[in-house]
Structure formats: structure tokens, C-alpha cells
Amino acid sequence: MSREKSPKKGRKKDAIEQFIGSHQMLIKPGLSQLRYMILADGLNVPEGYETCPYRCYVWSILLRVQPINTNFYLELVSKGPPSSYSKVRNDTFRTLAKDETFNRKVHENSLVRVLSAFAWTQEKNNGINEEVLSPYVQGMNILAAPFLFVCKSEPEAFAMFYSLLTKHLPLYITPTLDGVYTGANLVDIILKIVDPKLQSWLNSKLLKPEMYAFPSVLTLSTCTPPLSEILILWDFLFAYGCHMNILLVVAQLVLIRSQLLESKSPMSLLRNFPPIKAKEIIKLSISFVTKIPSNIYDLLVRHTYDPRVKLELQSLG
């Protein structure tokens, strides 16, 4: 199921590619160095490439993905359509539909197979599901898309997708999407800290974060184009934690604050954020960190996987 040609022979490897190919004696210092290099230098896209050819390896390291078991993936696919198949097919055809580069590279059938395979891992009484996670919720299709675009095979994309959802975002795919609602609540709380005027104005217009921030929280901002910039955001998120997406969403709001405050129809702006400018958004989001009280930051870090955060936020009033 390989879908991408091998890198061009003779291509010079940049610093990050050389680093991930070297032997690292200690895991934690190696990861810290890789994270810093991603933030400082970013992943390079060589001439003639649509995306960074080694990004899949960087993501697998950052997500701590276990070695790929191709047979396991093929066994899941061979089971056929899962119970959520109709929901899957209802979403896959419109996944990043306007992105020509994505649609030229990733076929809808690949997306269907990866989502169906994941659904099978979450079916009841199958011996795999350890938590109450949904086989499929709307938005998973968008989360799977970048992996299929970046990875060199479906099994590889599935392994990363599975790791992201089950290890890093389990509360985002519960039947009630608790983690996503908590994340939207955190958008409001953190916006109040970094830009109280904008937060107060949005509330005065009855514009709650569940209305405008939900898609960006659920999809790790992938609902806003272009994909090329989303990949850079994901480099950052996988390096420093998916919880940082909440700060990325807040940054997107702050960047359009003047348009919002002057708009007669602010919801139309909130429904369609301007195209992502990854480096600008990342830089702004990092500047928020020192402004956030330690107790709130702790809740931010834990909200993707710890169900207690929901109640702890409620206790804050």
C-alpha cells in the first residue's frame, strides 16, 4: 500500500534529518534536542518535494509510535465495513476537498480503510479497547488526513493515527467528546487571561467558544487551510504537546481581534478563520505561556486525557 516514491538519490540531508538518523544514547536528551531543532529551524522541504520527506519519521519519534505491525492493520481491514461505516463514508468524500495537493496524493479509499481499521479496534468486546472510546466521531477523518498525506504507507499512517487518538487525545473521541468541550472552555479561560477585552466582547455578543472554537479544537486546527501550514503546526504540537493547540486557537483569535471588534457579523469571521500562517501563530502562542497561571496551565496539559479536568474547571467558577 505504498504511495510515495523513494527520496531522490544524492539529496543532501539537513541537520534534523541527520540527527534523527544518528544513534542517540539517551532518549530524553535526544527528544529535547529534536524539539528544539523543530522550533528553531523547522523541517525542510527540499526542492522538487511537496512536503518534507522525513516528516513521517519525526512524527513517529515524537508520538512514540510502536514499530508498525503491517499484518495487524491488514487483519483489521480484512474485517470489512465496521458498524460505523456509513458515518465514515458520509465524511471521507469531503475531507480537505478543496486541497488539490492532498486529493492528488491521497485517495478516499485509503482514508476509509484507515478509519475503518481504527473503528474495529474500538468495537465492544474485542479485547483491544481499554477505554470507552468511540469507533468513529465526526472529525476523525480530518485528523487522519495529514498522516495519509505525510506517511509512505497506510499501515504507517494508521499506526500514527491510532497512537495520536488513544495515547494523546483519548478524551477527544469519547461518545460525548468531553475533551473537546473542555478544550473549548479552556480557549475562553486563556483568552480572558491574554486578551480580556476581546474575551469580554465575544461574551457580550453571546459568542461562546463551543460555537466557534469547537472545530479547531477537535481537529488540531486542521479545519483551517492550507495543509502545508497545518503540517508545520503539527510538527510543533507533536514536539511540545497536543494541548498546545488550545493556545494556537487563542492565537488565531487574537490575530483577528481588530476585524472582530469592528465587524457587524463577527460569527462569519469566527466560522472561517483566515488561512493559517504557522510560524506567526506558533510564535504568538508561545508568548502566552508565561502569562498563564500554573494551575491553569496544568489543566491545559491534562485536558486531553484526564477526565478530572472537567470538574476542576467547574470548581474554578
Q: Report the candidate in 122, 120, 117 with the shortest Cα–Cα distance to residue 133.
A: 122
Residue 37 CA to residue 18 CA, distance in Å, equals: 12
Q: Name the 3-class secondary structure at 187.
A: helix
pLDDT at 253 over 90: yes
Pick the range with the lowest mean pLDDT from 43-47, 81-85, 231-235, 290-294: 43-47
Q: What's the pTM?
A: 0.93
**Percentage of residues in the chain with pLDDT exceeding 70?**
93
Mean pLDDT within 37-60: 93
Which whole number is the average pLDDT over 242-258? 98
Q: Give the domain-ending residue among 141, 168, 195.
A: 168
Helix%, strand%, coil% for the chain, nearest 5: 65, 0, 35
The whole domain housing 308 covers: 178-315
Burial-class residue 129 by CB neighbours within 10 Å (0-12, 13-18, 19+).
middle
190 and 215 assigned to the same domain: yes
Do the domain assignments include residue 5? Answer: no
How far, in Å, CA of 69 to CA of 296, rounded? 39
pLDDT reported for residue 132: 78
pLDDT of residue 21: 84
104 lies in a domain? Answer: yes
Burial (CB count <10 Å: 0-12, 13-18, 19+), residue 103: middle
Pick the last residue of a domain from 168, 188, 214. 168
Residues sharing a CB contact under 8 Å with residue 114, sequence separation 6 or more, in sequence order: 144, 147, 148, 154, 157, 158, 161
In whole numbers, what is the pLDDT of the chain averaged over residues?
Answer: 92
Q: Is 33 exposed, middle or buried (0-12, 13-18, 19+ CB in 10 A)?
A: middle
The predicted structure's pLDDT at residue 212: 95
Number of independent structural domains in the chain: 3
Which residue shows C-alpha cell 486546527?
Answer: 221
The answer to whether residues 186 and 77 belong to one domain is: no
Other beta carbons less than 10 A from residue 75's beta carbon: 12
Report the pLDDT value the prediction gives residue 23, as an integer from 0 to 100. 76
Residue where one domain finishes, among candidates 109, 140, 168: 168
CATH number of domain containing 243:
1.10.472.80
Name the grid cell of 122: 474500538
Question: Which residues neighbour 139 within 8 Å (Cβ) at sequence distance 6 or greater?
Answer: 215, 218, 219
Q: How far apart are CA 177 and CA 137, in angstroms?
A: 9
| Residues 42-47, mean pLDDT to the nearest whole number | 92
Which band of pLDDT confidence, cut at 50, 70 and 90, is reported for residue 307?
very high
Q: Which residues contact 170 (CB under 8 A, 6 or more apart)?
A: 131, 133, 179, 304, 305
Over residues 266-279, the mean pLDDT reads: 95
Q: Quote the DSSP letter at residue 167.
A: I
Q: 252 is written with which cell numbers?
A: 488565531
Contact, 59 vs 160, CB < 8 A?
yes
Q: How far, in whole angstroms, is CA 189 from its chain's centroid?
A: 21
